[in-house]
Amino acid sequence: MRTKPFVIGPALPLGLGALALLSLAACGGSGDDAAPVPADTAHALPQLAAATPAALAGGCDELGAKLAGQAGTVIDKVSTVAAGTVLTASTPAPEHCLVEGHMAQRTSTVDGRSYAVGFQLRLPKAWNGRFYYQANGGMDGAVVPAAGALGGGPLTGALVQGFAVISSDAGHQPNTDPTFGIDPQARLDYGYQAVEKLTPMAKESIRRAYGKAPDRSYFGGCSNGGRHTFVAAARHPDWYDGYLAGAPGFNLPKAAVASIWGGQRYASLAAAPNDPATPAGLETAFTLAERQLVGRAVLAKCDALDGAADGLVQDTAACQAAFNLARDVPSCGSGGRDGSCLSDAQKTVVASIFAGATTSTGAPIYTSFPWDSGIAGSGIASWEFASPLQRDAGAVAFIFNTPPQAAAGFDGAAFALGASIDALAAGITATAGVYAESAMGFMAPPNPTDLGALKNRGAKMMVYHGVGDPIFSVNDTAAWYDGLRANNGGDAGSFAKLYRVPGMGHCSGGPATDQFDMLTPLVKWVEQGQAPQAVVASARGGVNADVPASWAADRTRPLCPYPQVARYKGSGSLEAAESFSCQ
């Protein structure tokens, strides 16, 4: 048990058989108290009942015996965590039991390594009747504290609100080693099967601990956690009642290949032959001063399109028509680059990266990125210049490519800068031998715009995405939502809502109001039928270094449900959300 508080901060940068299904059905939280209705009767969608609290039946020291005996599950340790030991932002979590364990331990016949799905489950002594599956980011690979922390600030989390919360390593460790992708089962666990193993076990554990299954179950995460959320919503719409996805990288293999494609283009501009082999060298292609220059140019053309010159581009769509990199950013003359201009070669490369990665024949690999003031955010460099050579190089080589690369002597930078993009794009959809599912098969949600089963049982989904996100494009998420709307008579707002966050980078940060709570409105929507409209977000002055000094530290803005835009009403403080309306 910890004796000092640890603080949960913002999210960081990226088949069971019939027995399991029967176990899940017995565990509650599946909305069986509301009968399905036809898809064309959106006005009569079921209303799920609210969760009711319960107290832990006995103490934490009794849980080890109570939870024992579940198939394939080992409870390693149970301990009592005092109130206030875990903090989300500055809010203390209640006293709870920490259950640590693992499932499905095995030795791989492919790489000889030992694997298991590690987890921790936190069970409040005073429980609100709800379960939260915390989907973690990056490559998973670590059992991080199961506090239910959210993207953005965050303002709150599931544990501090009294949820039972689980987190896991998704079936492999450590989180810095992508070579787990050599093992076919580890790939599948990372993609979706760890969730399928953990969910029935967690709900059964809750039933044993409290004498009843969770009344309502929620699933959430940002980045890869947002991808996990999309996959769960598509594969298991009856297992959870509310889905909260941030920056959902639901086309993660495509985005990773696109990142390498962008890295190769930046390398063509690097200042010296050896520079591209390091993130710092790759950044010489498009320096911080130059990114800030472009950010100012975007603001000059787009800031006032929403009615207020306030340092935020609210009307993203109008900005794409208004801003032109070639025209609106000064070109360098004979004096060369000094931070006040871009060379013609830079403009060509940067514009191509924002337009979206393609194969050698021009076929799209991933989507375009919108122009936004967030291009100047401090988190951009990591994703634009480090990720192609490190995170994405390893992920594509070992997890997403079929067959995977050999681990011995692997050099991420050499792989990324020398790879055939056409081959990488083909590799993420390929299968071979023991790799029976392609990366796009095990990582992406099947039919993500067909969520009729989720809708018709009364479940809800909320999604948020930073417009300045440099690795997973908000355009991809908006296109998903457009497809969802098209499949639901032009309006998916009865069960799913998307919120774009102007200026915000990947999950948090950027010149943005990036602090907000979407868990509370999601619960009210699921359990009380109160559909969310605008969500108020605030800036983190003094914490988020990207917040301009000219903003009030407590600036607020409404995050509007897509496709609406926050527009200035014409009067009132530019620091206050109430001066803007969603239109």
Task: Count CB neighbours of 212 within 10 A.
Answer: 15
- Distance CA(173)–CA(186), nearest Å, equals 10
Q: Give every CB contact of residue 61 below 8 A, 6+ residues apart in sequence.
A: 78, 80
Nearest residue to 300 (alpha-carbon basis) of 282, 279, 324:
324
76 tagged catalytic: no
* DSSP E strands, 380-448: none
How far are the Cα atoms of 77, 102, 278, 410, 428 from residue 255, in angstroms, in the given order? Answer: 38, 31, 20, 21, 11
CA angle 408, 409, 413 (to 5 degrees): 130
Q: Give the Å distances, CA to CA, from 189 to 4, 105, 147, 173, 474.
A: 33, 12, 22, 12, 26
- For residue 576, give the amino acid letter: A
43 as an active site residue: the answer is no
CA 518 – CA 57 distance, rounded (Å)? 30
Helix axes 252-267, 344-355, angle to 10 degrees: 170
Write out the DSSP string of 274-340. Answer: TGGGSHHHHGGGS-HHHHHHHHHHHHHHHGGGGS--SS----HHHHHHH--HHHHSPBP-TT--SSS
Of the residues 96, 102, 465, 506, which is catalytic?
506
167 is catalytic: no
Locus of tokens 């594969």: 235
Residue 332 to residues 265, 336, 338, 345: CA-CA distances in angstroms?
19, 6, 8, 10
Q: Using CA atoms, how far apart are residues 352 and 362, in angstroms rounded to an integer?
A: 12
Integer Cα distance of 227 and 240 in angstroms: 15
From the candidates 223, 373, 508, 538, which is the catalytic residue? 223
Half-sphere exposure of 562 (CA within 13 A, CB side): 28
The alpha carbon dihedral of 314, 316, 322, 326 has a sign of: positive
d(CA 146, CA 209) in angstroms, rounded, equals: 17
Catalytic residue among 183, 306, 469, 517: 469
Report the C-alpha gap between 9 and 542 in whole angstroms. Answer: 15
Cα dihedral sign for 424, 430, 432, 436?
Answer: positive
374 vs 469: CA distance, rounded Å: 8
C-alpha 529/C-alpha 238 separation (Å) is 18
Catalytic residues: 223, 469, 506
